[in-house]
Amino acid sequence: MNTEHVPGIQPAVLRWARQSIGLSVSDVAAKLKRPVEEIVAWESGDRAPTYAQLEKLAYMVCKRPLAVFFLPSPPDEIPPEREFRTLPDADLTALTVDTHIQIRKAHAYQLALQELFDGRNPSERCIWKQLSLSREVPISLQAKAIREYLGISLETQCAWKDDDVALKHWRAAIENVGIFIFKAPFKQKEISGFCLLDKDFPIIYINNSTTKTRQIFSLFHELAHLLFAVNGLSKLDKSYINYLPKDEKQIEQHCNAIAAEVLIPSSDFKQKTRLLPTNIEQVNEGQFSELANRYGVSREAILRRFLDQGRVSQEFYEQQAKRWANQQKSGSGGDWYASQKAYLSDRFAKEVISRHYRNQLSIEQAADLLGISPKNFPGLEQRILQGSAV
């Protein structure tokens, strides 16, 4: 083993690699099983890591290519604190390593999309270029415009047999208008998803660890961010909104309202609930479930509608929402290939396969883009070609 210290490593690059993924000096020391003082010495320039230590730091700790550590200065990479304004500063600084990695992967996907599609979005219609949101326009009109642009009527939505089918159709509809949707099982469970703007290849990235109904709501919440022309990073617990500055708070509230109105149109909801008691706290569980099933949303989303109408108290809403959240579990494991396929944008994955068939990508290159090892490529290839992911 080479125990010589690697020359030419810039301390600023070492500090950047650690800080960019949300790690403390103590975190790095623990992962490398080295004294804290030694990591401090690397970052001050008093010492340097060995090659073996640098490899472990790059690949196992910071999840960066080794070549990055030989740069003369840190690359110009926007940190989450500057990239996202939809979370309070305290939440942004508390993002875990896994969340930093997911954001970085999303940026990598955008670069890959630029290459795969030669810088031009393959969709004939791009929703963010033709629709935009404003806090001055009624929510109902903006939600109606989104639904019409996606081409899905309320009757079609209500005919979907379950939330799996609903997620599949909503995801396909949004991808058909130019937005690429990726998913991953976030280790930071409270994150619901995020989105990244781009003039040609905007991305929505959803936490696959949440329930299907939550993923559907997150899709529309993040779509609303894109139509507001802001990068968004959102949490399951909406209380974070109360700690945002005024403008950001209003945008988040508007995004929630847009998502709710697209999925549960207020005019139809009023019609379907007109015979229920004025005090909805008297309604039984079955009636909440029936309404949730109609729209393919969670019971919490239905209850929120009643809260907005003043038909339940804030205390009742919070108690019920918490109780239902504890009951819910997202689908687990099973078929590895099916899971990997579900994480990928359908259009992105099929383009990778197509490029491989045209001998424009090797198996190794295609597997790298899909985030798998080459030995697993044939199995995932078969799954991708079978149909759209959920």
Domain shared by 241 and 287, yes or no: no
The tally of domains found in the chain comes to 4
Distance (Å, whole) CA 76 – CA 195: 20
Cβ–Cβ < 8 Å for 215, 185: no
332, 347, 362 - which closes a domain: 332
pLDDT of residue 82: 86
Domain shared by 161 and 229, yes or no: yes
Domain shared by 100 and 245, yes or no: yes
pLDDT of residue 160: 95
Domain shared by 66 and 151, yes or no: no
pLDDT of residue 16: 92
Domain shared by 93 and 110, yes or no: yes
Q: Is residue 93 assigned to a domain?
A: yes
Domain shared by 363 and 237, yes or no: no
Strand ranges of the sheet holding 180-184, from the earlier edge strand across to the other edge:
180-184, 203-207, 191-196, 232-235
Q: Which long-range contacts (CB under 8 A, 24 or more apart) does 36-43 make?
A: 42/9, 42/11, 42/14, 43/11, 43/14, 43/15, 43/18
Domain shared by 59 and 151, yes or no: no
pLDDT of residue 351: 95
Domain shared by 33 and 178, yes or no: no
313, 332, 351 - which closes a domain: 332
Vertex 199 angle, CA 198 and 204, to 5°:
35
Domain shared by 138 and 201, yes or no: yes
Query: Residues 6 or more apart from 337 whose CB is under 8 A from it?
Result: 376, 379, 380, 382, 383
Q: Is residue 83 assigned to a domain?
A: no
Q: Is residue 6 assigned to a domain?
A: no
Domain shared by 118 and 51, yes or no: no
Q: What is the CATH number of the domain that holds 33?
A: 1.10.260.40
pLDDT of residue 10: 92
As separate numbers, helices (DSSP H) first and strands (DSSP E) second, the chain gives 21, 4
Q: Is residue 158 assigned to a domain?
A: yes
263, 294, 317 - which closes a domain: 263
Domain shared by 184 and 104, yes or no: yes
Q: Is residue 57 assigned to a domain?
A: yes
Q: Is residue 54 assigned to a domain?
A: yes
Per-residue pLDDT 10s for the chain (390 aa) are: 556 888 889 999 999 999 888 899 999 999 999 999 999 999 999 999 999 999 999 888 988 888 888 899 998 888 888 899 899 999 998 999 999 999 999 998 999 999 999 999 999 999 999 999 999 999 999 999 999 999 999 999 999 989 999 999 999 999 999 999 999 999 999 999 999 999 999 999 999 999 999 999 999 999 999 999 999 999 998 889 999 999 999 999 999 999 999 999 999 999 999 989 888 888 888 899 999 999 999 899 999 899 888 889 989 988 888 888 777 655 555 688 989 999 999 999 999 999 999 999 999 999 989 988 889 999 999 889 876 555
pLDDT of residue 148: 97
Q: Is residue 5 assigned to a domain?
A: no
Burial 341-366 (b: 16+ CB within 10 A, else e): bbbbbbbbbebbbebbeeeebeeeeb
pLDDT of residue 2: 56
pTM of this structure? 0.88
Question: Which residues form the domain of 103?
Answer: 89-263
Domain shared by 37 and 128, yes or no: no
Place of tokens 């058909």: 176
- 333-370, pLDDT tens digit by residue? 568 898 999 999 999 999 999 999 999 999 999 998 99
Q: Is residue 20 assigned to a domain?
A: yes
- 176-190, pLDDT tens digit by residue? 999 999 999 999 999
